[in-house]
Chain A
Amino acid sequence: MSASEGLNLTLKVWRQNGSKEKGKMETYQVSDISPDSSFLEMMDILNEQLIEEGKEPVAFDHDCREGICGMCSMYINGEAHGPGEQITTCQLHMREFKDGDTIHIEPWRAKAFPVIKDLVVDRGAFDRIMAAGGFVSVNTSGNTQDANAIPVDKHDADKAFDAATCIGCGACVATCKNASAMLFVSAKVSQFALLPQGQVEAKERAVNMVNKMDEEGFGNCTNTGACEVECPKGISLENIARMNREYLKGSFG
């Protein structure tokens, strides 16, 4: 990549020192960014630059950098995980931007996801919802029945898989005007409700997880569908409908 193709960009980045202090946008310049670089490599370059200048680098969450761990979580130019469909922030590449662009970078914003520092938020609420019912109650034994003992309709297995691909990043919450976690919760409820192994506890699971979700301060669903659009794994709204059915069955059944 020749230097002449490098991008020069203005970055407006949210800086906040802990959940109790007020945050604000700071402006930085980066230059000669390769269009083949990932967005987070660009952030690495910004941080190296800040360290050289004796300033504190921007704190942000990231780990696998291949779109599967769900750790990265940036709100870029008003979109969860930035421009592009079905990608996480770490899969976003700089070729999506033009030389001279100004890029706004903010953390997920939701009552249930307090900011820890800069772009890092606390998504512990998701773990607590999972602990309320996101499992099949089976112990490790070494004597479970053979894996092929219960055939599973391929169609159901595929749908369960699609729901199970949720990476728990929280983009659905960040993008929802109500900061609702329905897409996240419904993905787990659906995965298990679609499989014979999960059906035994399906009713209690839906009720327990939904109640915990409400308790954690997530908003309600008003069928806007922004979550489905921004979801890096393309989790379908269908799951929310399924969860509502499971919840009703659990509440009255």
Chain B
Amino acid sequence: MSKLDSKIPEGPIKDKWTNHKNNIKLVNPANKRLIDVIVVGTGLAGGSAAATLAELGYNVKAFCYQDSPRRAHSIAAQGGINAAKNYQGDGDSTYRLFYDTVKGGDYRSREANVYRLAEVSANIIDQCVAQGVPFARDYGGLLDNRSFGGVQVSRTFYAKGQTGQQLLLGCYSAMSRQIGKGKIQMYNRHEMMEIVIVDGKARGIIARNLVTGEIERHSAHAVVIASGGYGNVFFLSTNAMGSNVSAGWKIHKKGAYFANPCFTQIHPTCIPQHGDQQSKLTLMSESLRNDGRIWVPAKKEDAEAIRAGKLKPTDIAEEDRDYYLERRYPSFGNLVPRDVASRAAKERSDAGFGVGTNETGEAVYLDFSSAIMRYGKEDANVHGHPDASEEEIRARGEKVVESKYGNLFQMYEKITADNPYKTPMKIYPAVHYTMGGVWVDYNLMTTIDGCYCIGEANFSDHGANRLGASALMQGLADGYFVLPYTIGDYLAGDIRTGEIPTDTAEFDEAEKSVKERIEFFINNKGKHSVDHFHKRFGKVMWNKVGMARNKEGLKEAIEEIKAIREEFWKEVTVPGSADGINQELEKAGRVADFLELGELFARDALERNESCGGHFREEYQTEEGEAVRDDKNYTYVSAWEYKGEPSEAVLHKEDLKYENIELKTRSYK
């Protein structure tokens, strides 16, 4: 019998969560004080979980590698957070959010989880407003909304282009309150190095104090992993430099199945790479697609002249521009989902119409000139100047656009030295988010008892493609409204256990393995830095396991990754010592885990003989280049069990059942 029991409650989908909450065990307040919970990661999922668990009365120990919980990478999310509030009266409902998310995920997510997500989404907005999160408001003082890709309603709440920041600071405030009370013990600049399992249950972690280098033992009755996504497996991504898979990978190696590793989101609107010295890519929010129009020159010779620096985008006449998303997908236009928009950009660039001036020519335009004129005209009318000159309309329009997207435009200008009010932005897809992650059941528990996984780190809600503004929703849903209930059902069995001792054989052994690995890195004295390997490996991932994949390429990638991994263990060098800050040592541990994950990732992509969402296999496409799913054979979650080398991992399948939504070809035409 496989361990893959999704534990989806019985009953109609709209009653499942309510019934489940009514039937699971509770822990009374006096007993909660006797129970410790470890939370690894302090982003939206980890931060909200830590705060809520502490409010409920549990003793929480929270860990983050940054110098403060406020710096987790959720902070960089820009555009917004979805919620089925229907404040705009445009036909939104829990069912529609559920439907859009399942369809957007290309029918590869679990219905019951997604429905629950849509159901609690409205509570998130109420909670955040109560915490003092300053969402955008209209002149009547009510909350404003905007639209995101893959939907036809306005359900996205936002705070300029800094929604993630404001939501995370809300979590951080809630955490700070509990830290002040002593209910959360906060371990900043600490990295989880290993999980400790006692009698089959997660009972603690080994952590490294990144300042002193000390290896520490921490025990608890349950361990929650909220360590985010693994996009940095590609070296270049929009993730923070420190974002890593290690916490998820450590638990995978100790028994947690890893699901759908190949489901990665390539975000269509990022600033193109400038050259080989680049260490990090920057996202431009999807919200820009509300008003920006995406195009490339319709004539190849114009594209060539632009790449050669002989023509400027503003020289191209309107009729010589190809607004290819509006052309191919008239009903969704520039607001098609991310996977579709990314592939379309790649298709145009590969066909020779790209406008990038770097070596690759990879870039398309995101143009605000029509939006500027449209808003300018409206603003002039509102202020009683129907006869305003074109110049005045433009100036007014620029002001309106600035009020909506000012910080994003400023960010673009700082990086590229181009003024996007005057000339279109250049954008190109980049790795952004990972839908895959640690397999969890309906209670968000992994296949290790007492070990939970929430937020981007798990696989549960987005299927093969995540819709914009849904990551913030999921992180906060998991942390504020799901885990705090479901974890009680498990912890109810621990009210008499007492504190978990750390002077046991299990902790000894886990600590020993951590110390041995650190000593290895310090003493190896090889020829190359960690980044040297990470860059080479990232290129293999991007070229062969990136936006488009095929059988041959994936097979080659698996061999190449294996070879780089072997060389890494022989030739990596880590200067300095282990007894203090050593950022190279931190990177070495993380890249070692990425090198294992990368191979499993490619295997997963090779095994899935279909195209769905962010997973595009070149062999499976229509003549027009649209993804072709194989529902008969692949309507399942791939959950991999660790067995030593990645090549020996065993595949388990969780069949996905669609009882409320009919499986259909996804169309945005």
Contact = CB atoms under 8 A, between A and B. Distances in A.
B471 to A, nearest CB: 15
B575 A55 contact: yes
B126 A145 contact: yes
A130 B172 contact: yes
Interface in A120-139: 120, 122-124, 126-127, 130-139
Contact of A130 (B136, B137, B159, B173): B173
Nearest to B52: A140
Interface stretch (A39-47, A172-180, A218-226, A237-245): A39-47
A4 interface: no
A12 interface: no
A134 B141 contact: no
Given A65-B240, A127-B68, A138-B131, A154 B137 contact: yes
Contact of B580 (A117, A124, A142, A154): A117
A65 B134 contact: no
A68 B75 contact: yes
Contact of B177 (A45, A131, A144): A131
A66 B270 CA distance: 12
A191 B179 contact: no
A95 B172 CA distance: 36
A37 B584 CA distance: 21
Contacts of A37: 274-275, 277-278
14 contacts: A1-B274, A44-B531, A51-B584, A56-B575, A59-B581, A63-B66, A66-B280, A68-B75, A69-B71, A132-B180, A138-B130, A142-B481, A161-B134, A161-B166
Contacts of B159: 161, 164
Given A44-B531, A52-B529, A33 B277 contact: yes
B140 interface: yes
A18 B576 CA distance: 14
A34 B275 CA distance: 8
A154 B414 contact: no
Given A48-B531, A64-B240, A71 B52 contact: no
A127 B278 contact: no
A140 B125 contact: no
A67 interface: yes
Contacts of A34: 274-275, 277
A120 to B, nearest CB: 6
Interface core residue of A18, A63, A95 (most chain B CB under 10 Å)? A63
A41 to B, nearest CB: 5
Contacts of A123: 67-68
A69 B531 CA distance: 22
A135 B529 contact: no
Interface core residue of B125, B127, B417 (most chain A CB under 10 Å)? B127
Interface in A176-206: 191-192, 195, 197-198
B132 to A, nearest CB: 5
Nearest 6 interchain pairs by C-beta: A151-B141, A131-B180, A135-B173, A161-B134, A147-B129, A130-B176
Nearest to A145: B126
Contact of A36 (B85, B188, B275): B275
A9 interface: no
Contacts of B165: 68, 165, 167
Nearest to B181: A131
Interface in A78-119: 84, 86-87, 91, 93, 95, 116-117
Given A40-B279, A161-B160, A144 B127 contact: yes
Given A65-B282, A68-B162, A135-B131, 8 more contacts: A1-B275, A64-B241, A69-B76, A71-B66, A127-B176, A140-B127, A140-B481, A151-B137
Nearest to B87: A148
A91 B188 contact: no
A64 B76 contact: yes
Contact of A157 (B134, B180, B529): B134
B410 interface: yes
A143 B123 CA distance: 7
Contact of B186 (A33, A59, A126, A127): A127
